Each structure stands twice: as structure tokens, then as C-alpha cells.
Structure 1
Amino acid sequence: MSQISIISGKTSEDLAKKIAKKIKANLVKSEIRIFPDGESKITLIGTISKKRSIVIQSIFPPVDTNLVHILSLITKAKENSAQVDVVIPYMGYARQDREFLPGEIVTMKVLAKLFKGAGASKIIAIDIHSLIGLKYFSIKTENVTAIPDLVKYFKKLSLKNPLIVSPDQGGKKRAKEFAKELDSDYIALEKIRDRKTGKVKIKTKNLSEVENRDLILVDDMISTGGSIIKATQFLKKQKSKRIYVACTHALLMNNAEKKIRKAGVTSIISTNTIPGKTSKVDISNTIAKAIM
């Protein structure tokens, strides 16, 4: 029997299967029964290694349900394994990493305690929204990037003098890294977000460098697509050519994909941290390397 067990949560079944195959690990699946009151009953199918288990589960909507599921999987794994590593392809609550307005709870602090309490030895996240959130953990943490995998996809496309664009200053480092991998240049727009309403405004004025070029809007995650839509509308006015969107996590809530396409985006390309129509980039190899 393999010395490593991959315990697959329902949100990351396909990813877990690919990773287990790559590292020759024993795959343990989870079956879930939902009771009429909304409670979940999880049953694991397979044998858990006594040496090391790796729990893989994304925490996307329904976020609270999937959070309880992953904590339950870790607890069960810890009953059997000496070491329990946890891969969270998409980390829900990562935006709640500090107190923006008085009285707000920093939920990432709560998560740090929950994961340790459940028995996790290490947390591996993929392009977490904010690295600040990982500082609250007293166990080992690692953030792995999907940028090289996304760039590989875009290298296959016939792009005209591509320019990498970050929709805000916060993503400047990500855009720079993406541009370096693709061997192109980058810019970062300036935006303002109202902390109470969530509305976004682009502060940047005219941009001559986007004219007649294919653009790749790069972000770590897209939830409702508000920032991407505003950026696309602005860039279209600057006479850009095609606009692509590259992101690690495509949540695409409230019909976001349709709205983004309507704004003028040619294609949305995301990874399989969140399975869906746009998840055309497989990151199982990158996660497998991080595990080993």
C-alpha cells in the first residue's frame, strides 16, 4: 500500500484524482449525504495511510458548508495518519485578512485556529488572495502560484504584441510576474473601491500603450467580475485589440461570465482550482510538486 493517501473532498474530486495518479498515492473518496435540515454526513471510501494523508478540497460556494467539510476530512485523517497536509486550491475567506472597518471580524484568524485544531500539519494554498491571511497560522503554510501554468496556455495563442494588465495596483506584482514568464511588458490600472457599497471606479486616465495590442487582464480571482468589467470598458475606449482574462480562481457569481463577455472580453481562462466552463488550465502537476 502507498505511504501517502490523497483524501478527496467533493469540490476537488477531479484534481485529487489527477494528483493521486501523478504521485502514485492511494485515493480516498468522500461520499456526502445532505439531511433535510441541511446537515452533511460524510463517509470516506478507501484506506487511509498511517504515515501521511493529504486532504484536497477547495472552499468555494457554498463556502461555509465546504469549510465544515474540509475540517471534518482533516479530523478523520488525523485519527489515522501521523501527518496530515492540506491542499486548499481555492481558499475561501482570504479577503477577510484584516479589519478594514471598525468592528469587522478577521475571519482568517478564525480559520487558522480551526485548521490547527482539526489536526492539519501544513496548509498549501494556490494563489491565495492575500498572503497576510497565512501569517495567522501557527502551522506551516505555503502559497503556490499557477502563473507559469496559465502562461503556458497563452503562449499557444497567436497574440498581437501582448500587454499584461492588472485591473488594480494591488495586482501589480502578479502582472509583472506574468509578463516576465510571457516575455512581454505590463501595466497596472488605478481603481477605487467603496468599502461599504463595493462599487469600483477606474482612476487611470488615457493610456497610449494599449492601442492596437492584444491585452491579458490578469487577476488572482474573479467573483462578480466588477473590476474586470470596469477595466475592460476603460481599455476598449483606449482602442485596444482583443482582451483576454487570465485568473487562477473563477468563481463567476451572479452571471459574471456573461456580463464579462458582454463588456468585450474575448475569453476567460482559469485553472481547475474551481471546476467550470472557463477552467482550461490544469494545475495538478504544480500541486504534485509542492506536495512532494
Structure 2
Amino acid sequence: MTKFTVISGSSSEELAKKLAKKLDANFIKSQLRIFPDGESKITFQKKPQKNKIIVIQSTYPPVDENLIQTLSIISKANEYATEVIAVIPYMGYARQDREFLPGEVITMKVIAKLFKSVGTSRIIVVDIHSMIGLKYFNIKSKNVTAIPDLVKYFAKLKLKNPLVVSPDHGGKERAKEFAKLLKTEYITLEKQRDRKTGKVEIKSTDFDEIIGRDLILVDDMISTGGSIIKATEFLKKQKCARVFVACTHALLRNGAEKKIKNAGVTKIISTNTIPGKTSLVDVSDTIAKAII
């Protein structure tokens, strides 16, 4: 009997299949039916064996639907499993990890309680937006990074004297690690965001080292692309060569991909934590290593 069974939610089926193959595990697909009133009905294709079960599901939009489905799958899996490991490649609500303005609900704290209540033994996430969010989980939790996987992809491209760029100070360590693995330099832009309006501005001065170089804008996630667009427009004024975007989670909402390309980005490269046209980098091996 194999050590693991992998059960996929509908949002991460292809990644789940890859993970099951890496772990030499049984794979069970969960069938999803949405009723006219919006309710979800989930049915396992076959009965799991009595072993460790890995439930894998990203909670990207529709976030609430995917979250409820994930919790439901974990709850059912717990009826069979000796241990349930939740793999949430993209964790929705990770930005709601503290009370920024008076009266705001810390939704990550609520979600952490829900995962524990349905019988999650441990949880694995990929490049969670803030490590503060994981502190709310009173179960074993681990964040793994997709940076080495992304670097491997960029190392194969024929880049002209590449320079890694963080769009803000919050991503400085990410850019530093990316540049270290790619064996090049990095810079950090000065970004300011109005918490009430969401408007973003780049406050950085000119950078002479940008001229004529291919740039890699590195971020953990891209939602509407506002920060990436502002950064690209600024960098293009500094007479750089091409601009690439590397991110773990490409949400790309409200036509973000087209807007980013229109701003001057040559290519967006993301991982398969969220499936899509830009998800060219597989993170199943990284997740498998975190489980074993």
C-alpha cells in the first residue's frame, strides 16, 4: 500500500496529478456540482485507503467557493485518514492578516480556526503573502518558496545582463534571493500606496545601472497588476532593455495581463499554483519535498 493518497479540489487538479506522481501516491479526483442557488456538492470518485491523505486546492477566485470546497473535502477525507495534510498552493485572504484600520476583521485568523476545526493535521502553502498569517494556525504549518523553480526557468532564457527588481521594499528579500540564485544583482523601488484609495506611486530616483539591461520584476502575487504597471512605466523611462515579470501567483484580475503587456512587459512567468496561460513553472517537486 502506498504511503499517501492525493485528493484534488477542482481548482488544482493538474497540480494534484503531478504531485501524486512525484509521491508515487494514489490520486482521487473530487467531482464538483454547483446547484442553481450557488451551493457546491462534492463527491469523491472512489473511497480513499486508510493512510495519510493530502488534500490539494488553491483558494483563488472565486475565493469563498474554493475555500468552502477545500474545507468540505478535508472534513470528508478526515473520515478515512490517519492524517490529513492540506496543501493550499495559493492561500486566499493572506493579505488580511492584521487590523490595518480600526474595526477590520482579521480574516486569516478565522480561516486558521476553520482549517483546524475540520481536522487538518498540517498545512503547506507556497509563498504566502505574509508569514504573519501562518502564526494563526494552531497546527503544523509550513511555507515553501517557488523562487528556485522560477530562477531555473529564467536561467534558461537568453537575457542581456539581467537585473532583478523588487517593486517595493516588502519584496526586497524575495528579489535578493532571486538575484543570488541567478548570480546577478538586484535593486528595490520605493513604492507608496494609499490604503484608502489603493493608488500606487513610485518614489524612487533614477537608477543608472538599469540602462540597456534586461529586467526581471519579481513579486509573490499579481492581482490587478497596479504595482507592476507603475514599476514598468518607471523602469522604461530609465532606458532599460526588456522587462520580464516573475511571480508565484498570477491572479491577473480585471484584464491585468493585457494592461501589464501594454505597459511594456515582454512576458509574465508564473507558477501553476494558479493555472493559466502564464503558469509555465511547476512547483509539484517543491511541494513534494515539503511533505516527505
Structure-1-length-normalised TM-score: 0.99
CA distance in 2, matches of 1:135, 1:208: 41
**Residue correspondence of structure 1 range 200-219 to structure 2 within 5 A:** 200-219=200-219
Seq. identity, %? 71
CA distance in 2, matches of 1:238, 1:184: 19
Identify the residue that residue 96 of structure 1 maps to in structure 2.
96
Gaps of 5+ in 1: none
Deviations 1:164-219 (A, max 9, x none): 00000000000000000000010110111111111101111111111111000000
Please state how far the C-alpha of 1:49 moved relative to its aligned partner: 2.7
Question: Which secondary structure does the structure 2 equivalent of 1:209 belong to?
Answer: helix
Amino acid at match of 1:282: D
* 2:282 paired with 1:282: yes
**Residue correspondence of structure 1 range 72-221 to structure 2 within 5 A:** 72-221=72-221
CA distance in 2, matches of 1:20, 1:158: 33
CA distance in 2, matches of 1:74, 1:49: 15
Question: Which secondary structure does the structure 2 equivalent of 1:254 belong to?
Answer: coil
CA distance in 1, matches of 2:2, 2:156: 37
CA distance in 2, matches of 1:214, 1:169: 21
**What is the alpha-carbon root mean square deviation over aligned residues?**
0.7
Please state how far the C-alpha of 1:3 moved relative to its aligned partner: 2.8
Q: How many residue pairs get matched? A: 292
Question: Which secondary structure does the structure 1 equivalent of 2:196 belong to?
Answer: coil
Please state how far the C-alpha of 1:96 moved relative to its aligned partner: 0.3
Amino acid at match of 2:6: I
Please state how far the C-alpha of 1:2 moved relative to its aligned partner: 2.1
CA distance in 2, matches of 1:136, 1:15: 26
Gaps of 5+ in 2: none
CA distance in 1, matches of 2:263, 2:2: 50
Please state how far the C-alpha of 1:136 moved relative to its aligned partner: 0.7
Deviations 1:67-109 (A, max 9, x none): 0000001000111112000100000000000001111000000
* 2:224 paired with 1:224: yes
Amino acid at match of 2:285: N
CA distance in 1, matches of 2:278, 2:3: 35
Amino acid at match of 2:85: D
Identify the residue that residue 241 of structure 2 maps to in structure 1.
241
Deviations 1:238-268 (A, max 9, x none): 0000000000000000000000000000000
CA distance in 1, matches of 2:178, 2:4: 33
CA distance in 2, matches of 1:71, 1:178: 33
Deviations 1:19-67 (A, max 9, x none): 1111111111110111110001000112313121000000000000000
Identify the residue that residue 269 of structure 1 maps to in structure 2.
269
Question: Which secondary structure does the structure 2 equivalent of 1:80 belong to?
Answer: coil
CA distance in 2, matches of 1:129, 1:22: 26
Amino acid at match of 1:46: K
CA distance in 2, matches of 1:177, 1:270: 17
Question: Which secondary structure does the structure 1 equivalent of 2:72 belong to?
Answer: helix
CA distance in 1, matches of 2:107, 2:49: 32
CA distance in 1, matches of 2:46, 2:239: 56
Amino acid at match of 1:87: V
Amino acid at match of 1:42: I
Amino acid at match of 1:290: A
Go from structure 1 to structure 2 and tell me whether the alpha carbon gap of 1:9 and 1:123 turns closer, same or farther (over 3 Å shift): same
Question: Which secondary structure does the structure 1 equivalent of 2:265 belong to?
Answer: coil
Amino acid at match of 2:143: N
Question: Which secondary structure does the structure 2 equivalent of 1:266 belong to?
Answer: strand
**Is the 1:2–1:49 contact (alpha carbons within 8 Å) kept by the matching residues of 2?**
no
CA distance in 1, matches of 2:49, 2:225: 41
CA distance in 2, matches of 1:46, 1:195: 47
**Is the 1:3–1:49 contact (alpha carbons within 8 Å) kept by the matching residues of 2?**
no
Name segments (4+ residues, structure 1) moved above 2 Å: none
Question: Which secondary structure does the structure 2 equivalent of 1:79 belong to?
Answer: coil
CA distance in 1, matches of 2:138, 2:38: 32
CA distance in 1, matches of 2:287, 2:211: 37
Of the structure 1 ranges 245-254 and 198-207, higher mean CA displacement relative to structure 2 is found in 198-207
**Is the 1:243–1:264 contact (alpha carbons within 8 Å) kept by the matching residues of 2?**
yes
CA distance in 1, matches of 2:74, 2:197: 36
Identify the residue that residue 2 of structure 1 maps to in structure 2.
2
CA distance in 1, matches of 2:233, 2:261: 11
**Is the 1:55–1:74 contact (alpha carbons within 8 Å) kept by the matching residues of 2?**
yes
